[in-house]
Amino acid sequence: MHSFIPPQRFFPYLSWTDIDSMEDKENMVIVQPIGAIEQHGPHLPIAVDAAISLGVLGKALEKLPPEIPCYALPCLYYGKSNEHWGFPGTITLSANTLISVISEVAQSIYRSGFRKLILMNSHGGQPQIMDIVARDIHQKYQDFSLFPFFTWRVPNIAKELLTPQELEYGIHAGDAETSIILALLPDQVKMSQAVKEYPQGLPEDSLVSMEGKLPFAWLTKELSKSGVMGDATVASKEKGDRLLASVSDGWVQVIKDVYSFRQPYL
């Protein structure tokens, strides 16, 4: 059941008496990995986002010093993926359903005595959901610290490995995601079917953009025939290994910082 997560850090392997007798639960870090089941082009499995959450977190927990208390919850595999609606295999929850699921998980963690919860989201279509849940739950339980984090936003070496075009437009099933899945699940990648396709039809010479400060709403099928937005053809396991090591190092520091974090109060 634990997948990439070290078994001694996997929350469901604990008994209720283990949890009941824990000391300093207020500072123990609980991580909820969150992914999606959605198309990632013809060459990648639909489990990419969930695999990245579990793979990065598992590697980080292997490196985390044993004196830092941290447990991983089971991954939430389904997410809000309706931007990929036009591609078979995509399974999506509504925003309201996902908000309800994460909120109820968070409240269950709170009732068990824990006061620090990281929402580790690897799907680019739902950071806003994490923000909403974190703010609303913290407003309800002001001694509960929640952290709506996106997996890739920790310090990492992506800028050293990806082209400027890929950094800006390679947002889905491109070089970075393909490389890291080659490191995590190499048998599930069909590199013979990898394609290079960047978003098409974007506004030119406009303040309005796909992912910038002034974005427009879009569906993947409007921008990409293959479902890919990026260059998957240049991906490699070597790059994936380096990305995995770098991003997981960033997560080690994040978990340490959350463990040390104290909610500000005036």
Residue 107 lies in a domain: yes
Rounded to an integer, what is the distance from CA 141 to the centroid of its chain? 24
Residue 265 lies in a domain: no
Structure tokens at 76: 């939430």
Residue 3 falls in which region: left (phi positive, over 0), alpha (psi -120 to 50) or beta = left
At residue 21, the pLDDT reads: 97
Residue 157 lies in a domain: yes
Q: Total structural domains in the chain?
A: 1
As to burial, measured by CB atoms within 10 angstroms (0-12 exposed, 13-18 middle, 19+ buried), residue 200 is exposed
DSSP-derived 3-state class of residue 29: strand
Q: Are the beta carbons of 81 and 92 closer than 8 angstroms? A: yes
Provide the b/e sequence for 19-28 (b: ≥16 CB within 10 Å). Answer: eeeeeebebb
Residue 48 lies in a domain: yes
Q: Are the beta carbons of 85 and 219 closer than 8 angstroms? A: yes
At residue 113, the pLDDT reads: 98
Residue range(s) defining the domain that contains residue 186: 28-260
3-state helix, strand, coil in the chain (%, to 5): 45, 15, 40
Structure tokens at 84: 């990929």
At residue 266, the pLDDT reads: 87
CATH classification at residue 45: 3.40.50.10310
Sole residue written with tokens 């447990």: 71
Q: How far apart are CA 159 and CA 173, in angstroms?
A: 17
Residue 150: which residues within 8 A CB-CB, separation 6 or more?
A: 121, 122, 124, 127, 130
At residue 127, the pLDDT reads: 97
DSSP-derived 3-state class of residue 33: strand
Mean pLDDT per 10-residue segment, the chain (266 residues): 98 98 96 98 98 98 98 98 96 98 98 98 97 98 98 97 96 98 98 97 94 94 97 98 98 98 93
Rounded to an integer, what is the distance from CA 183 to the centroid of its chain? 16
DSSP-derived 3-state class of residue 37: strand
Residue 177 lies in a domain: yes
Residue 57 lies in a domain: yes
Q: How far apart are CA 66 and CA 130, in angstroms?
A: 28
Nearest CA-CA partner of 9 in 85, 80, 62, 78: 62
Residue 5 lies in a domain: no
Residue 144 lies in a domain: yes
DSSP-derived 3-state class of residue 132: helix
Q: Which residues pair with 229 in a beta bridge?
A: 172
